[in-house]
Amino acid sequence: MARRHKPKTPPAKQRFSGVETKKTKTPPATKQQFSASERSALYARREAANVLRSVLRGDAERRAVASIKSLVFSPSVRNKRATFALVCETLKHLNVIKDVLEIANVLNSKWKRQEPLVYIICYDILFGKDTPSIGDAEKFLMKHKDALLSGLATLLVRKKVENVDQLMGVSQLKGHLKPRYVRVNTLKMDVDSAVQELEKHYTVQKDETVPDLLVLPPGSDLHDHRLVANGRIFLQGKASSMVAAALQPEAGWEVLDACSAPGNKTVHLAALMEGQGKIIACELNEERVKRLENTIKLSGASNIEVFHGDFLGLNPKDSSFAKVRAILLDPSCSGSGTITDRLDHLLPSHEADNTNYDSMRLHKLAVFQKKALAHALSFPQVERVVYSTCSIHQIENEDVVSSVLPLASSLGFELATPFPQWQRRGLPVFAGSEHLLRMDPVEDKEGFFIALFVKTNKLDKPKSSKLPERECRQRRKERSMQLHPYLCPKMFRAWSNLLHRRRSKPALSTNSDE
Protein backbone atom coordinates (compact mmCIF):
# COMPACT_ATOMS: atom_id res chain seq x y z
CA MET A 1 0.00 0.00 0.00
CA ALA A 2 1.42 3.29 -1.01
CA ARG A 3 2.14 5.78 1.67
CA ARG A 4 1.16 9.38 1.44
CA HIS A 5 4.04 11.67 2.10
CA LYS A 6 3.68 15.14 3.48
CA PRO A 7 5.20 17.86 1.33
CA LYS A 8 8.45 19.19 2.57
CA THR A 9 8.30 22.34 4.62
CA PRO A 10 9.30 25.30 2.47
CA PRO A 11 12.41 27.17 3.51
CA ALA A 12 12.02 30.00 5.93
CA LYS A 13 13.18 32.45 3.32
CA GLN A 14 12.07 32.60 -0.30
CA ARG A 15 12.93 34.71 -3.28
CA PHE A 16 10.00 36.40 -4.99
CA SER A 17 10.45 38.97 -7.72
CA GLY A 18 13.91 39.61 -6.48
CA VAL A 19 12.69 40.53 -2.99
CA GLU A 20 13.63 38.46 -0.01
CA THR A 21 10.57 37.74 2.16
CA LYS A 22 10.12 35.98 5.47
CA LYS A 23 7.51 33.24 5.73
CA THR A 24 5.28 33.73 8.77
CA LYS A 25 2.57 31.44 10.12
CA THR A 26 -1.01 32.72 10.23
CA PRO A 27 -2.30 32.53 13.82
CA PRO A 28 -5.29 30.18 14.21
CA ALA A 29 -8.73 31.81 14.42
CA THR A 30 -9.74 32.25 18.02
CA LYS A 31 -13.24 32.59 19.42
CA GLN A 32 -14.06 36.20 20.24
CA GLN A 33 -13.94 36.80 23.96
CA PHE A 34 -16.62 38.90 25.66
CA SER A 35 -16.59 40.34 29.12
CA ALA A 36 -19.01 39.10 31.76
CA SER A 37 -20.91 42.38 31.69
CA GLU A 38 -21.30 42.23 27.89
CA ARG A 39 -22.65 38.67 28.06
CA SER A 40 -25.01 39.61 30.89
CA ALA A 41 -26.35 42.58 28.90
CA LEU A 42 -26.77 40.40 25.81
CA TYR A 43 -28.80 37.81 27.71
CA ALA A 44 -30.87 40.50 29.42
CA ARG A 45 -31.84 42.02 26.06
CA ARG A 46 -32.95 38.59 24.75
CA GLU A 47 -34.93 37.83 27.88
CA ALA A 48 -36.49 41.29 27.81
CA ALA A 49 -37.43 40.78 24.16
CA ASN A 50 -39.19 37.49 24.99
CA VAL A 51 -41.16 39.14 27.79
CA LEU A 52 -42.00 42.13 25.61
CA ARG A 53 -43.21 39.82 22.83
CA SER A 54 -45.62 38.05 25.22
CA VAL A 55 -46.81 41.35 26.70
CA LEU A 56 -47.48 43.03 23.34
CA ARG A 57 -49.16 39.95 21.89
CA GLY A 58 -51.42 39.58 24.93
CA ASP A 59 -52.24 43.28 24.88
CA ALA A 60 -53.10 43.21 21.18
CA GLU A 61 -55.36 40.18 21.63
CA ARG A 62 -56.75 41.51 24.94
CA ARG A 63 -55.85 38.16 26.53
CA ALA A 64 -52.82 38.74 28.72
CA VAL A 65 -51.08 35.55 29.82
CA ALA A 66 -49.77 37.26 32.96
CA SER A 67 -48.74 40.64 34.28
CA ILE A 68 -45.40 42.14 33.29
CA LYS A 69 -43.99 41.48 36.73
CA SER A 70 -45.13 37.86 36.71
CA LEU A 71 -43.48 37.26 33.35
CA VAL A 72 -40.22 38.93 34.33
CA PHE A 73 -39.91 37.22 37.69
CA SER A 74 -40.70 33.73 36.44
CA PRO A 75 -38.03 31.07 37.14
CA SER A 76 -36.96 30.94 33.48
CA VAL A 77 -35.64 34.53 33.55
CA ARG A 78 -32.12 34.69 34.95
CA ASN A 79 -31.22 38.38 34.95
CA LYS A 80 -34.44 39.62 36.51
CA ARG A 81 -33.44 43.17 37.48
CA ALA A 82 -31.93 44.11 34.13
CA THR A 83 -34.77 42.44 32.23
CA PHE A 84 -37.43 44.22 34.27
CA ALA A 85 -35.78 47.60 33.78
CA LEU A 86 -35.40 47.08 30.03
CA VAL A 87 -39.02 45.99 29.54
CA CYS A 88 -40.45 48.89 31.56
CA GLU A 89 -38.27 51.57 29.98
CA THR A 90 -38.84 50.25 26.47
CA LEU A 91 -42.61 50.29 27.02
CA LYS A 92 -42.44 53.86 28.33
CA HIS A 93 -40.60 54.97 25.17
CA LEU A 94 -42.32 52.57 22.76
CA ASN A 95 -44.29 55.16 20.78
CA VAL A 96 -41.18 57.30 20.34
CA ILE A 97 -39.11 54.28 19.28
CA LYS A 98 -41.71 53.26 16.70
CA ASP A 99 -41.81 56.78 15.24
CA VAL A 100 -38.01 56.97 15.05
CA LEU A 101 -37.79 53.61 13.27
CA GLU A 102 -40.43 54.74 10.77
CA ILE A 103 -38.52 57.96 10.03
CA ALA A 104 -35.12 56.25 9.82
CA ASN A 105 -36.50 53.42 7.66
CA VAL A 106 -33.57 51.11 8.37
CA LEU A 107 -35.31 47.79 9.03
CA ASN A 108 -35.34 45.05 6.43
CA SER A 109 -37.77 42.11 6.39
CA LYS A 110 -35.50 40.01 8.60
CA TRP A 111 -35.44 42.45 11.50
CA LYS A 112 -39.08 43.45 11.11
CA ARG A 113 -39.90 39.88 12.18
CA GLN A 114 -37.97 40.48 15.41
CA GLU A 115 -39.52 43.80 16.39
CA PRO A 116 -39.53 43.23 20.20
CA LEU A 117 -35.75 42.70 20.17
CA VAL A 118 -35.32 45.72 17.87
CA TYR A 119 -37.36 47.88 20.28
CA ILE A 120 -35.20 46.80 23.22
CA ILE A 121 -31.92 47.54 21.42
CA CYS A 122 -33.18 50.85 20.06
CA TYR A 123 -34.03 51.94 23.59
CA ASP A 124 -30.44 51.20 24.62
CA ILE A 125 -29.05 53.11 21.62
CA LEU A 126 -31.32 56.15 21.93
CA PHE A 127 -31.87 56.48 25.67
CA GLY A 128 -29.81 53.87 27.54
CA LYS A 129 -26.54 54.30 29.39
CA ASP A 130 -24.75 51.32 27.86
CA THR A 131 -24.12 51.08 24.13
CA PRO A 132 -24.79 47.51 22.89
CA SER A 133 -21.68 46.05 21.28
CA ILE A 134 -22.26 42.33 20.73
CA GLY A 135 -24.98 40.37 19.00
CA ASP A 136 -26.09 40.35 15.35
CA ALA A 137 -29.11 42.58 15.91
CA GLU A 138 -27.03 44.98 17.96
CA LYS A 139 -24.35 45.23 15.29
CA PHE A 140 -26.95 45.84 12.58
CA LEU A 141 -28.65 48.66 14.48
CA MET A 142 -25.36 50.21 15.61
CA LYS A 143 -24.42 50.58 11.92
CA HIS A 144 -27.52 52.74 11.59
CA LYS A 145 -27.04 54.63 14.85
CA ASP A 146 -26.61 57.97 13.08
CA ALA A 147 -29.84 57.41 11.13
CA LEU A 148 -31.70 56.57 14.36
CA LEU A 149 -30.39 59.67 16.15
CA SER A 150 -31.25 61.78 13.12
CA GLY A 151 -34.75 60.31 13.15
CA LEU A 152 -35.14 61.27 16.81
CA ALA A 153 -34.04 64.83 16.07
CA THR A 154 -36.50 65.03 13.19
CA LEU A 155 -39.29 63.81 15.43
CA LEU A 156 -38.53 66.51 18.02
CA VAL A 157 -38.79 69.15 15.30
CA ARG A 158 -42.03 67.72 13.93
CA LYS A 159 -43.66 67.67 17.35
CA LYS A 160 -42.30 71.14 18.17
CA VAL A 161 -40.74 70.08 21.46
CA GLU A 162 -37.27 70.56 22.89
CA ASN A 163 -36.56 67.22 24.55
CA VAL A 164 -37.69 63.60 24.83
CA ASP A 165 -39.61 64.19 28.08
CA GLN A 166 -41.83 66.70 26.34
CA LEU A 167 -42.06 64.40 23.34
CA MET A 168 -43.40 61.51 25.37
CA GLY A 169 -46.04 63.77 26.88
CA VAL A 170 -47.03 61.11 29.36
CA SER A 171 -47.72 61.91 32.97
CA GLN A 172 -46.11 58.94 34.63
CA LEU A 173 -47.86 57.55 37.64
CA LYS A 174 -45.92 58.52 40.71
CA GLY A 175 -44.59 55.59 42.63
CA HIS A 176 -46.31 55.12 45.95
CA LEU A 177 -44.71 53.62 48.97
CA LYS A 178 -46.33 50.23 49.22
CA PRO A 179 -45.06 47.70 51.75
CA ARG A 180 -43.62 44.45 50.52
CA TYR A 181 -45.99 41.65 51.53
CA VAL A 182 -44.73 38.10 51.94
CA ARG A 183 -46.99 35.09 52.53
CA VAL A 184 -45.44 32.21 54.44
CA ASN A 185 -46.06 28.83 52.84
CA THR A 186 -47.02 26.90 55.96
CA LEU A 187 -46.76 23.63 54.04
CA LYS A 188 -42.99 24.08 54.24
CA MET A 189 -42.28 26.58 57.00
CA ASP A 190 -43.97 28.05 60.07
CA VAL A 191 -44.50 31.79 60.40
CA ASP A 192 -42.16 32.34 63.35
CA SER A 193 -39.26 30.61 61.57
CA ALA A 194 -39.84 32.78 58.51
CA VAL A 195 -39.83 35.92 60.65
CA GLN A 196 -36.59 34.86 62.32
CA GLU A 197 -34.90 34.22 58.98
CA LEU A 198 -36.09 37.43 57.29
CA GLU A 199 -35.23 39.59 60.29
CA LYS A 200 -31.56 38.98 59.56
CA HIS A 201 -31.81 41.54 56.74
CA TYR A 202 -35.21 43.27 57.02
CA THR A 203 -37.64 44.77 59.47
CA VAL A 204 -40.53 42.32 59.63
CA GLN A 205 -44.03 42.64 61.08
CA LYS A 206 -46.97 40.24 61.13
CA ASP A 207 -50.03 41.43 59.24
CA GLU A 208 -53.06 42.22 61.40
CA THR A 209 -55.60 40.72 58.99
CA VAL A 210 -54.08 37.59 57.42
CA PRO A 211 -52.30 35.32 59.95
CA ASP A 212 -49.62 33.91 57.59
CA LEU A 213 -48.80 37.26 55.93
CA LEU A 214 -45.69 39.30 56.77
CA VAL A 215 -45.06 42.99 56.11
CA LEU A 216 -41.63 44.30 55.04
CA PRO A 217 -40.51 47.86 54.21
CA PRO A 218 -41.30 49.28 50.75
CA GLY A 219 -38.69 48.45 48.15
CA SER A 220 -37.54 45.23 49.84
CA ASP A 221 -36.30 43.06 46.97
CA LEU A 222 -36.63 39.36 47.76
CA HIS A 223 -36.89 37.97 44.24
CA ASP A 224 -33.50 36.28 44.57
CA HIS A 225 -33.95 35.28 48.22
CA ARG A 226 -33.46 31.58 48.88
CA LEU A 227 -36.81 31.32 50.75
CA VAL A 228 -38.56 32.53 47.60
CA ALA A 229 -36.50 30.21 45.38
CA ASN A 230 -37.41 27.12 47.42
CA GLY A 231 -41.09 28.02 47.86
CA ARG A 232 -41.06 28.60 51.60
CA ILE A 233 -42.41 32.11 51.11
CA PHE A 234 -44.41 33.66 48.27
CA LEU A 235 -44.30 37.30 47.16
CA GLN A 236 -48.05 37.85 47.32
CA GLY A 237 -50.00 41.05 47.92
CA LYS A 238 -52.28 41.54 50.89
CA ALA A 239 -55.49 41.66 48.87
CA SER A 240 -54.62 38.47 47.01
CA SER A 241 -53.83 36.75 50.32
CA MET A 242 -57.19 37.79 51.79
CA VAL A 243 -59.19 35.89 49.16
CA ALA A 244 -58.37 32.32 50.21
CA ALA A 245 -58.52 33.35 53.87
CA ALA A 246 -62.05 34.71 53.32
CA LEU A 247 -63.19 31.33 51.97
CA GLN A 248 -62.00 29.60 55.17
CA PRO A 249 -61.74 26.05 53.79
CA GLU A 250 -61.38 23.32 56.38
CA ALA A 251 -58.84 20.50 56.33
CA GLY A 252 -60.26 17.53 54.45
CA TRP A 253 -62.71 19.53 52.33
CA GLU A 254 -62.94 19.37 48.55
CA VAL A 255 -62.51 22.86 47.07
CA LEU A 256 -62.74 24.12 43.51
CA ASP A 257 -60.59 27.03 42.32
CA ALA A 258 -62.47 28.19 39.23
CA CYS A 259 -59.86 30.42 37.53
CA SER A 260 -56.68 29.41 39.28
CA ALA A 261 -53.57 30.51 37.31
CA PRO A 262 -50.97 31.65 38.15
CA GLY A 263 -51.75 29.67 41.30
CA ASN A 264 -50.82 31.80 44.33
CA LYS A 265 -54.37 31.65 45.71
CA THR A 266 -54.58 27.94 44.87
CA VAL A 267 -51.52 26.97 46.89
CA HIS A 268 -52.69 29.29 49.69
CA LEU A 269 -55.87 27.21 49.85
CA ALA A 270 -53.71 24.08 50.10
CA ALA A 271 -51.79 25.59 53.01
CA LEU A 272 -54.99 26.62 54.82
CA MET A 273 -56.25 23.05 54.38
CA GLU A 274 -52.96 21.75 55.82
CA GLY A 275 -52.32 19.74 52.68
CA GLN A 276 -55.40 17.59 53.30
CA GLY A 277 -58.54 17.12 51.26
CA LYS A 278 -58.60 17.95 47.57
CA ILE A 279 -58.38 21.09 45.41
CA ILE A 280 -59.53 21.08 41.79
CA ALA A 281 -57.68 23.89 40.00
CA CYS A 282 -59.36 24.93 36.72
CA GLU A 283 -57.54 26.88 34.03
CA LEU A 284 -58.48 27.29 30.38
CA ASN A 285 -55.34 28.92 28.93
CA GLU A 286 -52.59 26.42 28.09
CA GLU A 287 -49.69 28.77 28.82
CA ARG A 288 -51.20 29.72 32.16
CA VAL A 289 -51.65 26.03 32.99
CA LYS A 290 -47.87 25.65 32.79
CA ARG A 291 -47.42 28.57 35.19
CA LEU A 292 -49.99 27.03 37.52
CA GLU A 293 -48.20 23.70 37.53
CA ASN A 294 -44.86 25.41 38.26
CA THR A 295 -46.41 27.28 41.20
CA ILE A 296 -47.91 24.08 42.61
CA LYS A 297 -44.59 22.25 42.27
CA LEU A 298 -42.76 25.09 44.01
CA SER A 299 -45.25 25.11 46.91
CA GLY A 300 -44.93 21.39 47.59
CA ALA A 301 -48.72 20.97 47.70
CA SER A 302 -49.80 17.37 46.98
CA ASN A 303 -53.59 17.74 47.21
CA ILE A 304 -54.13 19.81 44.02
CA GLU A 305 -55.46 18.39 40.76
CA VAL A 306 -55.11 20.62 37.68
CA PHE A 307 -58.03 20.62 35.25
CA HIS A 308 -57.16 22.12 31.87
CA GLY A 309 -60.57 23.28 30.73
CA ASP A 310 -63.37 25.84 31.02
CA PHE A 311 -64.99 26.24 34.43
CA LEU A 312 -68.27 27.18 32.74
CA GLY A 313 -68.18 23.81 30.95
CA LEU A 314 -68.26 21.82 34.20
CA ASN A 315 -71.52 20.05 35.04
CA PRO A 316 -72.44 20.87 38.67
CA LYS A 317 -74.45 17.62 38.92
CA ASP A 318 -71.52 15.47 37.79
CA SER A 319 -70.52 12.95 40.46
CA SER A 320 -66.93 14.24 40.25
CA PHE A 321 -68.04 17.40 42.05
CA ALA A 322 -70.51 15.83 44.48
CA LYS A 323 -68.21 16.48 47.43
CA VAL A 324 -67.12 20.05 46.52
CA ARG A 325 -68.00 22.23 49.52
CA ALA A 326 -66.35 25.54 48.62
CA ILE A 327 -65.52 27.46 45.44
CA LEU A 328 -63.04 30.30 44.97
CA LEU A 329 -63.92 32.43 41.94
CA ASP A 330 -61.36 35.06 40.96
CA PRO A 331 -62.28 35.55 37.28
CA SER A 332 -60.71 37.68 34.57
CA CYS A 333 -61.27 41.35 35.29
CA SER A 334 -60.09 44.78 34.17
CA GLY A 335 -57.27 44.84 36.74
CA SER A 336 -58.05 48.51 37.32
CA GLY A 337 -57.19 48.25 41.01
CA THR A 338 -53.63 47.05 40.36
CA ILE A 339 -52.67 49.10 37.30
CA THR A 340 -49.57 50.51 38.97
CA ASP A 341 -48.40 47.14 40.27
CA ARG A 342 -49.10 45.33 37.01
CA LEU A 343 -47.64 48.22 34.98
CA ASP A 344 -50.61 47.94 32.61
CA HIS A 345 -50.57 51.73 32.20
CA LEU A 346 -47.46 51.25 30.04
CA LEU A 347 -49.27 49.12 27.47
CA PRO A 348 -50.54 50.50 24.15
CA SER A 349 -54.14 49.58 25.01
CA HIS A 350 -54.10 51.88 28.04
CA GLU A 351 -53.65 55.12 26.15
CA ALA A 352 -56.00 58.04 26.72
CA ASP A 353 -58.10 57.47 23.60
CA ASN A 354 -59.33 54.04 24.64
CA THR A 355 -62.40 55.20 26.60
CA ASN A 356 -64.91 53.54 24.27
CA TYR A 357 -62.93 50.31 24.21
CA ASP A 358 -62.71 50.24 28.00
CA SER A 359 -66.47 50.65 28.30
CA MET A 360 -67.12 47.78 25.90
CA ARG A 361 -64.50 45.62 27.55
CA LEU A 362 -65.97 46.22 31.02
CA HIS A 363 -69.40 45.21 29.77
CA LYS A 364 -68.06 41.97 28.25
CA LEU A 365 -66.12 41.17 31.41
CA ALA A 366 -69.21 41.77 33.57
CA VAL A 367 -71.31 39.43 31.43
CA PHE A 368 -68.72 36.68 31.87
CA GLN A 369 -68.36 37.37 35.61
CA LYS A 370 -72.13 37.07 36.17
CA LYS A 371 -72.24 33.75 34.33
CA ALA A 372 -69.28 32.42 36.30
CA LEU A 373 -70.70 33.46 39.69
CA ALA A 374 -74.15 32.01 38.93
CA HIS A 375 -72.45 28.79 37.82
CA ALA A 376 -70.43 28.59 41.04
CA LEU A 377 -73.58 28.96 43.16
CA SER A 378 -75.28 26.10 41.29
CA PHE A 379 -73.06 23.29 42.63
CA PRO A 380 -75.43 21.37 44.95
CA GLN A 381 -73.14 20.58 47.89
CA VAL A 382 -71.25 23.89 47.96
CA GLU A 383 -71.55 25.78 51.24
CA ARG A 384 -69.23 28.75 50.66
CA VAL A 385 -68.39 30.78 47.54
CA VAL A 386 -65.93 33.68 47.35
CA TYR A 387 -66.11 36.07 44.40
CA SER A 388 -63.17 38.48 44.05
CA THR A 389 -61.72 40.94 41.55
CA CYS A 390 -58.78 43.33 41.43
CA SER A 391 -61.10 45.95 39.95
CA ILE A 392 -62.41 49.27 41.26
CA HIS A 393 -65.41 49.37 38.91
CA GLN A 394 -68.95 48.94 40.25
CA ILE A 395 -70.00 47.09 37.09
CA GLU A 396 -67.55 44.27 37.92
CA ASN A 397 -68.22 44.24 41.64
CA GLU A 398 -71.48 45.33 43.28
CA ASP A 399 -73.48 45.04 40.04
CA VAL A 400 -72.34 41.45 39.49
CA VAL A 401 -73.24 40.45 43.06
CA SER A 402 -76.59 42.24 42.93
CA SER A 403 -77.55 40.48 39.69
CA VAL A 404 -77.17 36.98 41.21
CA LEU A 405 -78.78 37.67 44.61
CA PRO A 406 -82.24 36.31 43.61
CA LEU A 407 -80.63 33.09 42.37
CA ALA A 408 -78.43 32.87 45.46
CA SER A 409 -81.41 33.29 47.76
CA SER A 410 -83.40 30.60 45.93
CA LEU A 411 -80.46 28.21 46.41
CA GLY A 412 -80.14 28.95 50.13
CA PHE A 413 -77.22 31.39 50.01
CA GLU A 414 -76.88 34.76 51.67
CA LEU A 415 -74.09 37.32 51.85
CA ALA A 416 -71.74 36.99 54.80
CA THR A 417 -69.16 39.49 56.08
CA PRO A 418 -65.52 38.53 55.46
CA PHE A 419 -63.06 40.15 57.88
CA PRO A 420 -65.67 42.04 59.98
CA GLN A 421 -62.97 44.31 61.40
CA TRP A 422 -62.23 45.71 57.91
CA GLN A 423 -63.64 49.24 57.58
CA ARG A 424 -64.08 49.74 53.84
CA ARG A 425 -67.22 48.04 52.56
CA GLY A 426 -69.23 47.85 49.35
CA LEU A 427 -70.79 50.81 47.62
CA PRO A 428 -74.31 51.43 49.04
CA VAL A 429 -76.16 50.54 45.86
CA PHE A 430 -78.35 47.71 47.21
CA ALA A 431 -79.49 46.34 50.55
CA GLY A 432 -76.79 44.09 51.96
CA SER A 433 -73.83 45.79 50.27
CA GLU A 434 -72.38 46.44 53.73
CA HIS A 435 -71.30 42.76 53.74
CA LEU A 436 -69.00 43.30 50.75
CA LEU A 437 -65.33 44.17 51.18
CA ARG A 438 -63.43 46.79 49.22
CA MET A 439 -59.81 47.92 49.20
CA ASP A 440 -58.93 51.44 48.11
CA PRO A 441 -56.11 52.12 45.60
CA VAL A 442 -54.96 55.16 47.59
CA GLU A 443 -55.55 54.15 51.21
CA ASP A 444 -54.66 50.47 50.81
CA LYS A 445 -52.26 50.91 47.85
CA GLU A 446 -54.38 48.63 45.65
CA GLY A 447 -58.01 48.27 44.63
CA PHE A 448 -59.74 44.98 45.38
CA PHE A 449 -63.20 43.50 45.97
CA ILE A 450 -64.39 40.41 47.87
CA ALA A 451 -67.89 38.97 48.26
CA LEU A 452 -68.63 35.89 50.41
CA PHE A 453 -71.74 33.75 49.90
CA VAL A 454 -72.63 31.25 52.64
CA LYS A 455 -75.37 28.63 52.41
CA THR A 456 -77.84 28.83 55.31
CA ASN A 457 -80.27 26.11 54.08
CA LYS A 458 -83.14 28.61 54.40
CA LEU A 459 -84.35 28.15 50.87
CA ASP A 460 -86.46 30.94 49.45
CA LYS A 461 -89.58 28.82 48.66
CA PRO A 462 -93.27 29.85 48.38
CA LYS A 463 -95.13 29.84 51.68
CA SER A 464 -97.33 26.78 52.29
CA SER A 465 -100.72 26.70 54.08
CA LYS A 466 -99.55 23.64 56.00
CA LEU A 467 -97.93 24.16 59.36
CA PRO A 468 -94.31 23.09 59.74
CA GLU A 469 -93.86 19.66 61.27
CA ARG A 470 -92.17 21.10 64.36
CA GLU A 471 -95.15 23.35 65.11
CA CYS A 472 -97.62 20.50 64.55
CA ARG A 473 -95.77 18.37 67.08
CA GLN A 474 -95.88 21.21 69.60
CA ARG A 475 -99.64 21.64 69.23
CA ARG A 476 -100.32 17.92 69.60
CA LYS A 477 -98.23 17.94 72.78
CA GLU A 478 -100.22 20.84 74.21
CA ARG A 479 -103.54 19.11 73.49
CA SER A 480 -102.37 15.91 75.11
CA MET A 481 -101.28 17.80 78.21
CA GLN A 482 -104.79 19.26 78.57
CA LEU A 483 -106.44 15.80 78.95
CA HIS A 484 -103.76 13.60 80.43
CA PRO A 485 -104.69 12.75 84.11
CA TYR A 486 -101.13 12.56 85.33
CA LEU A 487 -99.93 15.82 83.75
CA CYS A 488 -103.07 17.89 84.63
CA PRO A 489 -104.88 16.02 87.47
CA LYS A 490 -107.12 18.92 88.66
CA MET A 491 -108.35 19.71 85.18
CA PHE A 492 -108.98 16.04 84.50
CA ARG A 493 -111.01 15.55 87.74
CA ALA A 494 -113.16 18.66 87.09
CA TRP A 495 -113.85 17.52 83.54
CA SER A 496 -114.70 13.96 84.74
CA ASN A 497 -117.15 15.17 87.49
CA LEU A 498 -118.95 17.44 85.06
CA LEU A 499 -119.44 14.59 82.65
CA HIS A 500 -120.73 12.31 85.46
CA ARG A 501 -123.36 14.87 86.62
CA ARG A 502 -124.66 15.35 83.11
CA ARG A 503 -125.16 11.63 82.68
CA SER A 504 -127.06 11.24 86.08
CA LYS A 505 -129.72 13.97 85.36
CA PRO A 506 -133.16 13.00 83.73
CA ALA A 507 -133.67 13.93 80.18
CA LEU A 508 -135.52 17.23 79.50
CA SER A 509 -138.67 17.53 77.35
CA THR A 510 -138.20 19.00 73.91
CA ASN A 511 -141.68 20.64 73.95
CA SER A 512 -142.23 24.20 75.22
CA ASP A 513 -145.48 25.92 76.68
CA GLU A 514 -144.61 29.37 75.85
390 is catalytic: yes
Phi/psi of residue 257, nearest 5 degrees:
-100, 110
Point out the catalytic residue in the list 333, 390, 472, 488: 390
Backbone angles phi, psi at 214, to 5 degrees: -115, 150
Query: 310 a known binding residue?
Result: yes
Question: Residue 145, exposed/middle/buried by CB under 10 A (0-12, 13-18, 19+)?
Answer: middle
Q: State the DSSP code for 86.
A: H
Inter-residue contact 121 to 139 (CB < 8 Å): no
Q: Which residues contact 297 (CB under 8 A, 6 or more apart)?
A: none
Check the annotation: does 283 bind a ligand.
Answer: yes
**Is 468 marked within a binding site?**
no
Give the DSSP H/E element, type plus range, for residue 166: helix 164-168
Instruction: Judge whether 275 is annotated as a binding position.
Output: no
Task: Please name which of 111, 81, 78 lies closest in space to residue 122, comparing C-alpha atoms.
Answer: 111
First to last CA, the chain: 166
Q: Is 513 annotated as a binding residue?
A: no
Whether 378 has a binding-site annotation, put simply, is: no
Do 386 and 378 meet the contact criterion of CB atoms below 8 Å apart?
Answer: no
User: What secondary structure letter does DSSP report for 425?
Assistant: B
The DSSP-derived string for 93-139 is THHHHHHHHHHH----HHHHTTHHHHHHHHHHHHT-SSPP-SSHHHH
Strand order in the sheet with 205-206: 205-206, 213-216, 180-184, 233-234
Identify any residues that bridge with 117 across adjacent strands, giving them in sequence order.
none
State yes or no: cis peptide before 262, omega within 30 of 0.
Answer: yes
Is 262 annotated in a binding site? The answer is yes
Q: Is 260 labeled as ligand-binding?
A: yes
**Which residues are annotated as catalytic?**
390
Residues of the binding site for S-adenosyl-L-methionine = 259-265, 283, 310, 330
